[in-house]
């Protein structure tokens, strides 16, 4: 079995299985936890919890006009690589056929040259995010192994993907195998580290929104 | 044609001029990306060389490789085999049969010990001592070991001989293996393909005869001059790949416009061969030009590499059952952790209640 066959077969299968297991486990374990009964009286005129939660998800997903200057770069850079990853993952034809193989759904792809350009910007943006984390004393203090490992496992698929498409450094089969293996690693780590924020960010924002709205406070 | 005459004498006797020989070697040299002076050096060497004794062994194969060579254009098998080499033994092409054929092989081996080249097409059956493929009561395994013993070098023609090919595909009932797994003490040149490109075979033999050495090989034992580049890198549809224009099926607009066949399973990006440059049938076409994706036939285990129509970036295993099982297991783990948490909470509440009932002294 070649490295590419291993990557496309057992490695990818195992990565997906661990991802599904871990995400299901963590989400259920969180959402089904017993919650404290709300004993306070809701502030008059406060919106229903569901609406407040959804509103908060939307509000925090848009750039905040009152952003302090110090976090402006971090916020904008965050948008750049998150959107970049989304464009690369869902816009490249090779990724769409991969998703089609899993779920049977497909959509028109973007130009490969455009996706490549976005991928290179994404690489630069992710490197900048790491540099900022290391350079900032506060961020460095707040960071642990999980942060760096999650960054690395998110960065590897992007950089190996760029190399595979451009045929840089090795034969295509080797680069493609490295790319798929890095995706399998990413999927396997996803539920257990900070990458899980992709799901939990909506839960925490909704909870915060509902909690604050009940008290009549701006979240 | 007397065996001991030079190739130049033989060609001259057949009316092949020096100019024609130079043209032929220039063609081969350009195919193999050799420097311009190599053409004349090759012509000189070929003209002076004694005819190379070749013993051709056919094992677990379909004769497609021989068909490919005998039906090639220029250089034809006649150019190559009958003018350049002395084909002393070949099941399909030799006139002799039975015991006489075997005697011809043994005589060639004795006369040219240490100097003859063994060409093999077909994989070698090894299971149960190789009884699944025999000729003249001798297994392929025995015949290969016996013939390779005094050979100068071996050339594995076709993917079956080079990598095991279709007989080697799962479940491999005959225990088929490539030649290189049996013969480990002689140089083995692999010229894979199903079938291989005739020019790759001709060029390699001409190089061997002209320069008396083996051409530069890649990590899979293939001449780099023919197998150094991926088909994808020299494919005329490559610009469509770069622009993200793909045929989604074999009869859609993209297919009619000649767009890249990656999404319908083309293995060109991982297949190293000269199909996109040398092409087939005298340079007329090659599979991708004819509208079908590359199958990757010059790579090991191409038959078991996940399906001819599965795109390279897609997984090769079904994940539906695995995902369902993982989701169920994850749900069970999630519910179990919640049950434990609720139990701990209930125990804590009970402990708190009992503490309240018993007033502190």
Q: Read out DSSP for B192-249?
A: --SSPPHHHHHHHHHHHHHHSSPPPB-TTS-BHHHHSSBHHHH-TTHHHHHHT-B-SS
φ, ψ of residue A4 in degrees (nearest 5): -65, -40
Give the SS3 label for residue B251: coil
Mutate to test the interface with A, among B313, B323, B341, B344 (most CBs of A within 10 A): B313
User: What pairing do the DSSP bridges indicate for beta strands B138-139 and B176-177?
Assistant: unpaired
Q: For A144-171, write each residue's pLDDT tens digit.
A: 999 999 999 999 999 999 999 888 888 9
Q: Cβ–Cβ of A98/B314 closer than 8 Å?
A: yes
Q: For B58-85, write each residue's pLDDT tens digit.
A: 999 998 888 887 766 555 544 555 556 7
* Res B193 pLDDT > 60: yes
Please tell me the pTM assigned to this model. Answer: 0.82
Which architecture, in CATH terms, is A3-19+69-214? Up-down Bundle (1.20)
In this prediction, residue B78 carries a pLDDT of 47
In this prediction, residue B1 carries a pLDDT of 45
**Distance of residue A126 Cα from the nearest chain B Cα, in angstroms:** 24
Q: Where in chain B is the domain with CATH 4.10.480.10?
A: 229-338
CATH code of the region B50-227: 3.40.50.700
**Tokens 């998703």 sit on residue:** A99
φ, ψ of residue B77 in degrees (nearest 5): -65, -30
Chain B residue numbers touching A32 (CB-CB < 8 A): 334-335, 338
In this prediction, residue A64 carries a pLDDT of 64
Contact B32, B223 (CB under 8 A): yes
Burial of A83 (C-beta count, 10 Å sphere; 0-12/13-18/19+): middle
Q: Where in chain B is the domain with CATH 3.40.50.700?
A: 50-227
Q: Cβ–Cβ of B331/A28 closer than 8 Å?
A: yes
Query: CB count, 10 Å around CB of B211?
Result: 15
**Distance of residue A79 Cα from the nearest chain B Cα, in angstroms:** 25
Interface pTM, i.e. ipTM = 0.83
Nearest in space to B101 (alpha carbons), one of B135, B62, B50, B150: B135
Q: What is the Cα–Cα distance from A123 to A156, expressed in whole angstroms?
A: 10
Contact A101, B311 (CB under 8 A): yes
List helix spans (H) across chain A.
3-6, 12-31, 49-61, 69-91, 93-103, 112-135, 137-142, 145-166, 172-189, 197-214
Q: Does the B229-338 domain belong in CATH 4.10.480.10?
A: yes
């Amino acid at each position: 079995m070649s490295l590419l066959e291993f990557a496309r077969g057992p490695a990818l299968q195992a990565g997906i299985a661990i991802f599904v297991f871990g995400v299901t486990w963590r989400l259920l374990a969180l959402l089904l936890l017993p919650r404290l009964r709300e004993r306070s009286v809701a502030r008059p005129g406060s919106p229903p919890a569901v609406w407040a939660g959804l509103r908060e998800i939307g509000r925090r997903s848009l750039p905040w006009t009152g952003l302090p200057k110090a976090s402006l770069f971090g916020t904008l850079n965050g948008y750049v690589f998150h959107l970049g990853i989304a464009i690369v993952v869902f816009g490249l034809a090779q990724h769409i056929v991969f998703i089609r193989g899993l779920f049977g759904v497909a959509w028109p792809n973007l130009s490969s040259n455009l996706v490549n350009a976005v991928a290179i910007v994404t690489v630069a943006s992710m490197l900048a995010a790491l540099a900022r984390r290391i350079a900032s004393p506060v961020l460095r203090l707040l960071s642990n192994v999980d942060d760096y490992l999650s960054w690395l496992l998110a960065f590897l698929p992007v950089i190996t993907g760029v190399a595979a498409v451009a045929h840089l450094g090795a034969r295509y089969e080797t680069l493609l195998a490295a790319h798929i293996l890095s995706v399998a690693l990413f999927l396997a780590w996803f539920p257990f580290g900070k990458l899980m924020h992709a799901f939990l960010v909506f839960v925490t924002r909704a909870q915060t929104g509902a909690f604050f709205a009940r008290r009549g406070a701006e979240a | 044609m007397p065996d001991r005459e030079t190739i130049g004498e033989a060609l001259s006797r057949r009316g092949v001029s020096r100019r024609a020989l130079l043209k032929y070697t220039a063609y081969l040299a350009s195919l193999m990306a050799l420097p311009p002076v190599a053409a004349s050096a090759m012509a000189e060497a070929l003209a002076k060389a004694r005819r190379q004794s070749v013993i051709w062994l056919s094992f677990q194969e379909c004769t497609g490789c021989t068909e490919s060579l005998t039906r090639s254009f220029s250089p034809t098998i006649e150019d190559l085999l009958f003018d350049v080499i002395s084909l002393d033994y070949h099941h399909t092409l030799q006139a002799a049969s039975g015991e006489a054929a075997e005697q011809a092989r043994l005589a060639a081996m004795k006369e040219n010990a240490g100097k003859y080249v063994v060409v093999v097409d077909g994989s070698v059956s090894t299971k149960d001592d190789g009884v699944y493929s025999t000729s003249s009561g001798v297994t392929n395994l025995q015949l290969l070991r016996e013939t390779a013993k005094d050979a100068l070098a071996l050339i594995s023609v076709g993917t079956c001989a080079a990598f095991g090919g279709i007989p080697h595909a799962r479940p491999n009932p005959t225990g088929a293996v490539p030649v290189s797994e049996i013969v480990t003490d002689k140089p083995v040149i692999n010229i894979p393909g199903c079938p291989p490109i005739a020019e790759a075979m001709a060029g390699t033999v001409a190089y061997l005869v002209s320069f008396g050495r083996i051409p530069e090989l890649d990590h899979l034992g293939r001449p780099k001059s023919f197998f150094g580049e991926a088909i994808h890198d020299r494919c005329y549809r490559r610009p469509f790949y770069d622009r993200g224009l793909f045929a989604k099926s074999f009869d859609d607009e993209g297919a009619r416009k000649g767009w890249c066949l990656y999404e319908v399973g083309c293995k060109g990006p991982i297949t190293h061969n000269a199909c996109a440059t040398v092409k087939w049938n005298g340079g007329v076409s090659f599979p991708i030009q004819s509208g079908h994706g590359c199958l990757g036939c010059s790579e090991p285990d191409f038959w078991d590499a996940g399906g001819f129509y599965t795109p390279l970036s897609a997984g090769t295993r079904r994940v539906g059952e695995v995902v369902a099982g993982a989701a169920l297991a994850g749900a069970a783990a999630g519910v179990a952790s919640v049950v434990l948490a609720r139990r701990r909470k209930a125990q804590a509440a009970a402990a708190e209640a009992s503490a309240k009932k018993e007033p502190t002294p």
